[in-house]
Structure 1
Amino acid sequence: MAAGRGVRHAAAAGLLSVLLLTGGCFRAHPLPALPPEVVRAGLTQDDYALRQSFADGRFDDALSLVSPKGRFVPGDELLASLYRASALYYAGRFDTSGLALDRAAVLADDRYTKSISRNLLAAVTSDGTLPYEPSQTERLMMNYYGMLDFLRRGDVGGAAVEARRISALFESFDSRKDSVDVRTRALLNYLAGATFEAAGEKNDAAVSYRVARALVGDSALPFPAEPKKQRRSRGGARPPAADSTTGEVIVVIEHGYVAHRVPRLVLIPVTEDEFDKFGGKPEETLAAAAAISARTLVWIATDQDRFLWHDEDDDRELRMDDRSSQAAYLLPVAWTSLQRPYHPAWRGAVVVDSMVRRSFGVNADLCDAMANDFRRSRAAAIMRGVVRAGAKLALAEAAARKLEKKKGEFAGSVARWATDAINVATERADIRQWRLLPGELSIVRLSLPAGPHELSLDYAPGDGAATRRIALGTVDIRPGRIAFATTRLWDDGVLAPRRRVVVSGR
């Protein structure tokens, strides 16, 4: 009987994987079929349409897609605000993009205080039906865009406020020197320091630079020279003033897209004794879920990359191989993994007035930062999933047994399949995230003579690809001041054979 149940639940898991691939729902009016390479990359119709708009430079079209009545606006208010903020920012509407970021920040702060109750609710529904709570990296990037937003408006004081918020977030987050996302955190501290420096807040700038140096060392980022204490010369005369004919420009280059979540399914074997505890006393249910979750996390630890990352050729199902116990049921838990966009090695350099040339590489990989966010949350997510899936199956089994006693074995079997179908329909992988974030960040810092200068990029999108000269515009260098220039290379990271690069100077 137990073996038969295991087969039945495995079949139900197969149905769940089909629903996971389709997002767990069907649209009333089917959309055009996606290219096969887009499907293999785990992108949705929404992702594809938005990326095409950005890649073609149609930022107003992208904004219309994520407007309050847009075709692809996320259902969650916070996530919708982030999508609108991105579209507004790259469309050059900096005032309104700041308002969208402020709204998202207010919602994020409110939801962070309610995270405990959120975990309890997710144990009986699903993560995807609850209010979206942004990851640590997403919280930091909200203030990153807020900072750049003010800088693009020429409001250095407002940018310094956002920089201070970044510093405050770092103080509240785990500050350990983690090798995975350390470069992203160092770069954001560096940008905060540069913003403080531009605003004349030297002490705050020194602190942010010091934190960034402690994370990645002196050579990973273009740090300014350490200020030297000035001494009076003999006779009491002051030393000569610093060169007042030069200033600096910091160029921030965003590239590609961050790794995106794709739906997967974890099949976890449970014993008859463990299964019988679900649906009973709450303490027994939690104890069984804790034991199953701990066993699952040990299994994950033995092959972390397979569980965390997903490649196009990987199976959507992750079956736990547990030979220490005799499985009576396979517990299907909806899960997500990250898929890193296809980005071959590229070459880039900032060019000033068609003469000065400064090469640059990747200073921060946001895909790694997202992966670390995933690692921080996976234990709680596994626990919620096990409690939810186990409780659903226990309730279904109890109802089926009751019907089986009254109507016979066939009626009980039909009831099991029906309740399995209901459980499948309500158990969906939560693939929500701020999917418009860049995948890589680079910084170039140049000291230039005062006056206007033409900036451009020399960019080759892959090995053997021809170098393209891309104009960024004119920057006005003021003596002793710091100017900022930002741009994004819209590399879709999916359609490798037909890749195109469109640059936004916004």
Structure 2
Amino acid sequence: MINFLPKRMVVSIIITTLSGCASFELTDLFQGYNSQMKPVKAAQRQGEFVKAQNLLGERAQSNNSYVLNLLERGRLEFLAADWQASQKSFAQAYVEIEEQGNKAKIQISKGFENLSAVVSNDNATSYQVPYYEQSMLHSYQALNYLFQHDLVGALVEVRRANLVQEKALKAYKNEIYQAQKELNNSGMTTDSLYSGYPSMASAIGQVKNGFQNAFTFYLSGILYEASGELNDAYIDYKRAIEISPENHYLQQDVLRLAAKLGMQDDLASLQQRFGKYQAQTSKEQGQVVVFIEQDIVNSKQDIGLNLPIGRSNSGLKFFSFSLPVYEGALPKHSKLTFKNQDQSYLSNEIVRIQSLAAKDLQDQLPALLTRQVVRVVAKEQMRQKLSREAGDVGNILASIYNIASERADTRSWSTLPDQVDIVRMNLPAGKQVLQVQLNGQQKNIEVDVQPNRITLINFSAIGSYTGYQAINL
């Protein structure tokens, strides 16, 4: 007679393993994060930011997506102009990221968390905030401080954003090398991965890596310039233009400060690249800088692949994998036209956050697949064990569970803009009206331009919603 465990006991083994060693919701196990965020993003596109926050819900601090929830909430609170609430959410997210970094340094064991990931999927692990998301966190936190008239606090945040990019640059090559090495040791290769994985080249575009962000450097330069620290402003403008050399406004900024600071060698070199600088500012003018947030970044999608594991000399076995991907080409966004009196200014892209996200995912694929190899092998061993100990019932239930739980980790900061453009213009001091034209529609922005000062405008064009906030620096 074949001995087998009762059905309830087999189910209990799986559920007990998960509930006893993971801090996540069962919704995360069987429903992807991209699906969970669809109603939130739909409300965001309608400009219903409070509704979007309610749809987002809250997660306990022990939840593996707690820090991601804070980022999403902080972004929606920012769009709702609730600067204090957004500042609080981002500040707590920063604390969580710092704690994650400290744990990594001292190699705290993640035995329970890793066990839950082995028998389920990557959604059972703590969300690790990518570098590009960290830099955007500090950028939005800087804007939170600005809109509360705290330039000092904003400068602290842009310094943190710059440190994130410096840290990422130092760690980048080593992290990629180690991930590829571990993948090869697992019996897979990057060649076998990319042979079946969809290309993300269209989504990645021209970016060289997934963390260098010209927008954060440009924001930093603006704040340094507003505080009179022109050398620091010049340094960050030059960092920004190395990432986004085609941006006309960036070109004018580095030329202007090179001339103002007497950097004659730099100025000569820059004029060879970008043309001769023509000074335009007068004592009766002020500068207006506009950041334009365009639409919302796409969410990761879940794809299934059959890939071989093993060495050619010892035999290959194919397993089913579920991996995240950014599918499709980058959507094209219309340039915005800003008019004042008889002058027109076209917006220029400074960062494509979708491209950073896709490039970051591409760089993470070897590490993701390594974890998948460990997981599918462990699940297969669990299925074989339950089959031996619980007969056909155990085999069927384990197989169903393995298929249902094999879901890619599609978590990412999904309420970020897809693209950020900039406009910079010199306007006469006093009350001014900017006429903004986007997709055949016009919106007026009223600003109080002050002589020899910068007026900063954050303009959002998200779905059917347009809105803006302005402040004199």
TM-score scaled by length of structure 1: 0.68
Q: Name the SS for the 1:124 alignment partner.
A: helix
- Tell which deviates more after alignment, 142-151 or 354-363: 354-363
2:118 aligned partner, one-letter code: V
CA RMSD of aligned residues (A): 3.2
Q: Read off the aligned partner of 1:418 and give its amino acid letter.
A: L
In the TM superposition, what whole-angstrom CA distance separates every residue of 1:256-289 from its partner, at most 9, and x where no partner exists? 111211112222234xxx5xxxxxxxxxxxxxxx
C-alpha offsets along residues 327-357 of structure 1, whole Å, 9 cap, x if unaligned? 76432222111135873452421122x5421
The Cα of 1:114 is off from its aligned counterpart by 3.2
Aligned partner of 1:373 in structure 2 is: 360
Aligned-pair CA distance for 1:149: 1.6
1:56: how far off? Answer: 2.5
Query: Residue 152 of structure 1 aligns to which amino acid in structure 2?
Result: F
Distance 1:446 1:431, change over 3 A: same
Partner amino acid for 1:504? G
Aligned twin of 2:454:
482
1:15-414 matches, within 5 Å, as 24-25=29-30, 44=35, 46-68=36-58, 76-115=65-104, 121-122=113-114, 124-125=118-119, 126-174=121-169, 179-181=207-209, 185-217=213-245, 219-222=247-250, 223-224=252-253, 225=256, 226-228=258-260, 243-270=282-309, 274=310, 329-339=317-327, 343-352=331-340, 355-400=342-387, 402-403=388-389, 412-414=391-393
In 1, Cα distance between the equivalents of 2:218 and 2:67? 27
CA distance 1:66–1:394, shift in 2 (3 Å): closer
Unaligned runs of 5+ in 2: 1-26, 174-205, 263-280
CA distance in 2, matches of 1:61, 1:96: 15
Distance in 2 (CA, whole Å) between partners of 1:158 and 1:478 is: 22
Q: Distance in 1 between matches of 2:339 and 2:424?
A: 12
Query: Residue 416 of structure 2: which of 412, 432, 437 is its match?
Result: 437
SS at match of 2:213: helix
Structure 1 pair 213–124 and aligned structure 2 pair: CA distance change class (3 A): same
CA distance in 2, matches of 1:69, 1:332: 31
Deviation at 1:427, TM superposition (A): 3.2
- What is the CA-CA distance between 1:184 and the residue it aligns to? 5.9
Alignment deviations for residues 36-89 of structure 1 (CA, whole Å, 9 cap, x no partner)? xxx9xx952x4332233223322222233335389xxx9722112112111211
Go from structure 1 to structure 2 and tell me whether the alpha carbon gap of 1:150 and 1:129 turns closer, same or farther (over 3 Å shift): same
Larger radius of gyration: 1
| Aligned-partner Cα distance in 1 for 2:29–2:127 | 18
Distance (Å, rounded) in 2 between the aligned partners of 1:58 and 1:229: 46
Is the alpha carbon distance of 1:138 and 1:250 closer, same or farther for their aligned partners in structure 2, counting shifts above 3 Å? same
Q: 1:173 to 1:221 in 2, by over 3 A?
A: farther
Q: For structure 1, which segment, 425-434 or 480-489, has the greater mean C-alpha deviation from structure 2 after superposition? A: 425-434
The AA in structure 2 aligned to 1:258 is V
User: Post-superposition shift, 1:416?
Assistant: 2.7
Q: Deviations over 1:164-215 (max 9, x none)?
A: 1111111101268983458962232122111111122222212211212333
Change (3 A) 1:360 1:394: same
Q: CA deviation at 1:219?
A: 4.7
Q: Indicate the structure with greater helix content.
A: 2
Supply the AA of the counterpart residue of 2:297: V
The unaligned stretches of length 5 or more in structure 1 are 1-21, 27-38, 231-241, 275-290, 292-323, 404-410, 461-466, 492-500
* Distance 1:417-1:269 versus aligned 2 partners, 3 A rule: farther
Question: Residues 228 and 205 (structure 1 numbering): CA distance in 2 closer, same or farther, change over 3 Å?
Answer: closer
Deviations, residues 15-44 of structure 1 (Å, cap 9, x unaligned):
xxxxxxx97537xxxxxxxxxxxx9xx952
CA distance in 2, matches of 1:355, 1:151: 31
Is the 8 Å Cα contact of residues 348 and 457 (structure 1) preserved in structure 2? yes
Aligned residue number for residue 272 of structure 2: none
Aligned residue type for 1:99: K
Amino acid of the residue matched to residue 294 of structure 2? H
Return the alpha-carbon distance in structure 2 between the equivalents of residues 47 and 395 of structure 1: 32
SS of residue in 1 equivalent to 2:169 = coil
Matches of 1:391 and 1:218 in 2, distance apart?
A: 49
| 1:397/1:416 contact within 8 Å kept | yes
| Correspondent of 1:470 among 443, 457, 464 | 443
With the length of structure 2 as denominator, give the TM-score of the two structures. 0.72
Distance 1:195 1:229, change over 3 A: closer
Q: Percent of aligned pairs with the same residue?
A: 23
Distance 1:149 1:434, change over 3 A: same
3-state SS of 2:207 partner: coil
Alignment partners' CA distance in 2, 1:48 and 1:396: 34
Q: In structure 2, what is the equivalent of residue 457 of structure 1?
A: 436
- Please give the alpha-carbon distance, in whole angstroms, between the structure 2 residues aligned to 1:348 and 1:207: 28
Q: Does the CA-based 8 Å contact 1:181-1:368 persist in structure 2?
A: no
Match of 1:446 among 425, 434, 439: 425
SS in 2 for 1:452: strand
Report the CA distance shift for 1:417/1:138 in structure 2 as closer, same or farther (over 3 A): same
How many residues align? The count is 381
Partner in structure 2 of residue 318 of structure 1: none
